Amino acid sequence: MTLKAGVIGLGNMGGGMAATLAGKGFDVSGFDLSPAALAQAESKGVKPVADRTQLIQSVDILILSLPKAEHVESVCLGAGGINEGGRKGLIVVDTTTSTPEMSRKVAAELAKNGIAFIDAPVSGGPKGAATGTMSMVIGAEDADLARAMPVLEGMSGTRVHVGQCGAGNVAKIANNMLAACHLISTAEAVAMAARAGVDPEKLLQGLNAGSGRSGATQVMFPTWVLNKAYDSGFTMGLMRKDVGLASDLADSLDMDLPLSRVVAQLWQASSETLADNEDFCAIVQRTDGKLYGHGE
pLDDT at 170: 98
Structural domain including 280 reads: 170-292
pLDDT at 2: 79
Q: Spell out, as residue ranges, where the chain has pLDDT lower than 50.
A: 296
The CATH number assigned to the domain holding 247 equals 1.10.1040.10
pLDDT at 1: 54
pLDDT at 296: 47
Residues 61 and 140 occupy one common structural domain: yes
Torsion 28-32-34-37 (CA) sign: negative
The answer to whether the CB of 189 falls within 8 A of the CB of 290 is: no
Residues 111 and 49 occupy one common structural domain: yes
Q: Which residues are CB-neighbours of 112 under 8 A, at least 6 positions away?
A: none
pTM over 0.75: yes
Residues 21 and 127 occupy one common structural domain: yes
Residues 156 and 185 occupy one common structural domain: no
172 a catalytic residue: yes
d(CA 151, CA 212): 36
Q: Which residues are CB-neighbours of 90 under 8 A, at least 6 positions away?
A: 56, 59, 60, 61, 62, 82, 114, 115, 116
Residue at which a domain ends, from 164, 192, 217: 164
The answer to whether the CB of 147 falls within 8 A of the CB of 116 is: yes
- Catalytic: which of 24, 172, 241, 290? 172
- Cβ burial of 35 (10 Å; 0-12, 13-18, 19+) is exposed
Residues 243 and 150 occupy one common structural domain: no
**At 120, is the secondary structure helix, strand, or coil?**
coil
